[in-house]
Structure 1
Amino acid sequence: MTEQRWKNRPEGSNWGDFGPDDQIGRMNLLTPEARLRGAREIREGRSFCLSLPLDYPGGNVLFPLRKEPVFHHEKRGDGHNFNFDLSGVSPCYCDVISDDAVTLYTQYSTQWDALAHVGMRFDADGDGVAEKVYYNGYRGGSDIVGPDEGDDHGAAALGIENLAACGVQGRGVMVDLERAYGRDRKLIDYDALMKAMDGMDVEVESGDFLCLNTGFADLVLSMNKQPDGEVLANACAVLDGRDERLLNWVTDSGIVAICADNFAVEAYPSRVPDEERFPALPLHNHCLFKLGIHLGELWHFGELAAWLSENQRSAFFLTAPPLRLPGSVGSPVTPIAMV
């Protein structure tokens, strides 16, 4: 066990509650009992793919620093190792071989955020100097190292491989914000979320995955890889990360993750508070930095949400492991729902 790496912890955080070395946060609440509760939601044996095609949304209008996948092929002989005829290696062979590689931005399309994705300048040492700090006191520059800080860079702590190894299977609970509010832009505070949850057949419990359908992913798909940034910026419901009552509910709920079909889960840019300094992404700060709650973005819930509504259900069994890619701060994911 490592000695506690912080003297001060952020107000409202759970640092240290799962141990000084914890790197999975609220996924600790995904207990065998929570998984069994999820498994009991499999009644029909029907599955739904919850991922967009990973070359969506298309271009980089939504986020200029993230780019769509690019394929590469290795040279082999006079050509490439794609549709390669092995008879050229031996006249006895009749095989045709294809390999490929891809440059893949880990948070371009349907994704998980690792706990190393968003930190904060915070005085964890209690010496009056704010350091770059991440969940549970892990440090930017030593535990999470960028290419400007050293040759051996990456997330040595809090990388996405920790989420992959802990087994991402449990009960998903769908809140259909599109059904409640349509596709007009709406900030969802605590009251709006509770209103959308009225009449659901299950309660959100500790160890659940909170899943939010807003219609955003279906809107992205309809744009056929030519997203209209202005339309998307003014469409569909988004969580109001500045609403303290909403953040308190997230804390008290015991949820292990929030998975949304939109970009960033919360409104960005967010409302400007009456403070000198503040997080630009308050929900990310509350979830990733303070509580160790993983965030999923750009999931595709439309078909599943429609089926759940038609069958008067809210819950399903969710399987959604990220890539076990050591040192990465995010990962593509192909979530599967079973009902």
Structure 2
Amino acid sequence: MQDQRRWKNRPDGSNWGDFGPDDQLGRTNLITTEQVLKGAREIRAGLSFCLSLPLDYPGDSKLNVRRHPPVLRPTTKDGLPYVNFPFARMEEQATDVVSDDQVLMSLQYSTQWDSLAHVGALFDADGDGVAESVYYNGYKANTDVVGPMEYRREDAFAPHECASGHSHADALGIENLAVKGMQGRGVLVDLVAHYGREHRTVGYDELMFAIDADKVQIDRGDMLLLRTGFAELVLEMNRHPDEAVLNSQCCALDGRDQRLLQWLTDSGIAALVADNYAVERYPARPAQGHYPLMPLHHHCLFKLGLPLGELWYLRDLAAWLRANARSHFMLTAPPLRLPGAMGSPVTPIATV
């Protein structure tokens, strides 16, 4: 087994290789057939809740200047836009009128899944004493996760042009989660019920308080959802996000809290989702020495292969669950089956 692995060293606290030398699913391997059945057994009322924001929210590009709202355009043929287009040729008597469009969008602009190719780290995986850019289970930058530029640490991250102008995750792409299905039992922890919209960086103690207060049971293979109220604020801003307000309200996880990170490891959850941007507080608290700027992303995506969901809409589901003294539900949340993508919009459905 060791000879088959693409790494000699694995990060402390990681599970690289535990699901096999070529694993690309990480902790979603824990969504077993029994977990799907457990989710199905949570369907008692027959009600469904959409957990997605409208995908043109938050609006503008203020939360991330790299990501832009979707732009819809008609498809065209011979220079003609196919919206309200009379489909029949002039000599025909057919009555069809066709509208057919396309979209240009940033895949992680709104409600989304992060693939395991989204965040890697500089780490000496091959044991040669030099840190290289690698991702979960030792998959390599520029070999398995390919982009139009090659960044080399020895050149102070100077970019080098590669042959292709495109990007593609030949390993760890979002299509792996799509094929998996991302369907099983979801469990909600409602931080708003305990902390309101207070600007609070939630560590292990605060999270355990909310879990214990609501008697929430979290089992191996569950997908954990955290409501902070952030997505609700975004909706209220009607596609004109106010950065000052968003940055001064609502909970976010403390990625520097080692007890919290250890709990994420020990809990056995298969995915971690929040209704806020990044799940963790960013920027994180200062640290010493070499450290990740996004420590929770580093721990979850890079070390554990634990997918992250961001900007989900959880208010209506949370209200129903609390009114009915429940925390669990069936969650169905496959991303786009888009080979090579590093993230994906998602329209999750919770069924109770």
TM score, norm. by length of structure 2: 0.94
Deviations 1:284-316 (A, max 9, x none): 000000000000000000100011111111111
Matches within 5 A, 1:237-256: 237-256=251-270
Structure 1 partner of 2:351: 338
Q: Could you tell which deviates more after superposition, 81-90 or 253-262?
A: 81-90
Where does 1:97-108 land on structure 2 (aligned, <5 Å)? 97-108=98-109
- The runs of 5 or more residues in structure 2 that have no matched partner are 151-161
Indicate yes or no: 2:13 matched with 1:12.
yes
What residue is the counterpart of 1:219 in the other structure?
Answer: 233
- The within-5 A match list for 1:127-146 is 127-146=128-147
User: What pairs up with 1:38-49 in 2 under 5 angstroms?
Assistant: 38-49=39-50
Aligned pairs for 1:116-127 within 5 A: 116-127=117-128
Once the two structures are superposed, residues 119-147 of structure 1 have per-residue CA deviations (whole angstroms, 9 ceiling, x without a partner) of 00000111110000000000001100111
1:319 aligns with 332
Q: What secondary structure sits across from 1:198 in the alignment?
A: helix
Provide the residue aligned with 1:185 in structure 2.
199
CA-CA distance at 1:203 after TM superposition:
1.2
**Matching residue of 2:180:** 166
Equivalent-residue separation in structure 1 for 2:250 and 2:44 (angstroms): 31
Distance 1:80 1:154 in 2: 30
Q: Distance in 2 between matches of 1:98 and 1:8?
A: 54
- Return the alpha-carbon distance in structure 1 between the equivalents of residues 106 and 297 of structure 2: 20
* Deviation of 1:96 (Å): 0.5
Aligned to 1:260: 274
RMSD over aligned Cα atoms: 1.3
Pick the aligned partner of 1:232 from 246, 269, 277.
246
| Structure 1 counterpart of 2:95 | 94
Q: Given residue 157 of structure 1, which amino acid in structure 2 is its aligned partner? A: A
Q: Do the aligned partners of 1:201 and 1:313 also contact (CA within 8 Å) in 2?
A: no
Checking the alignment, whether the CA contact within 8 Å between 1:320 and 1:336 is kept in structure 2 is: yes
Shift of 1:90: 3.9
Q: What CA distance in whole angstroms lies between the structure 2 residues aligned with 1:22 and 1:270? A: 30
2:102 alignment partner AA: A
Q: SS of 1:112's equivalent?
A: strand
CA displacement at 1:57 relative to structure 2? 0.2
CA distance, structure 2, for counterparts of residue 265 and residue 91 of structure 1 = 56
Could you tell me which residue of structure 2 aligns to residue 289 of structure 1?
A: 302
Alpha carbons of 1:252 and 1:76: their partners in 2 closer, same or farther (altered >3 Å)? same
The equivalences for 1:266-305 within 5 A come to 266-273=280-287, 275-305=288-318
What per-residue deviation string (whole Å, max 9, x for no partner) do you get for residues 5-38 of structure 1?
Answer: 0000000000000000000000111111111111
Aligned residues: 338
Aligned AA (1:63): N
Correspondence 1:67 to 2:68: yes
Q: How far did residue 88 of structure 1 move?
A: 4.4
CA contact (8 A) 1:201 1:312 kept: no
Identity, in percent, stands at 60
Shift of 1:153: 3.6
Query: Deviations 1:34-77 (Å, cap 9, x if unpaired)?
Result: 11111111000000000000000000010010000011223346
1: CA distance between counterparts of 2:49 and 2:76? 38
Distance 1:162 1:145 in 2: 17
Q: CA separation in 1, counterparts of 2:284 and 2:7?
A: 29
C-alpha displacement at 1:89, in angstroms?
4.1
**Partner AA of 1:101 in structure 2:** Q
- CA–CA separation in structure 2 for the residues paired with 1:332 and 1:71: 15
Structure 2: distance between partners of 1:194 and 1:239: 12
Deviation at 1:233, TM superposition (A): 1.0
Quick one: distance in 1 between partners of 2:99 and 2:59? 25
The answer (yes or no) to whether the contact 2:168–2:341 under 8 Å persists in 1 is: yes
For 1:78 and 1:210, the matched residues in 2 are separated by: 48
* Contact 1:51–1:300 (CA under 8 A) maintained in structure 2: yes
Question: In the aligned structure 2, how far is the partner of 1:12 from the partner of 1:118?
Answer: 17
List gaps (5 residues or longer) in structure 1: none
Kept in 1, the 8 Å contact 2:189–2:216? The answer is no
Aligned residue for 1:174, secondary structure, equals strand
Q: Give the letter aligned to residue 290 of structure 2.
A: R
Tell me the residue number matched to 1:310: 323
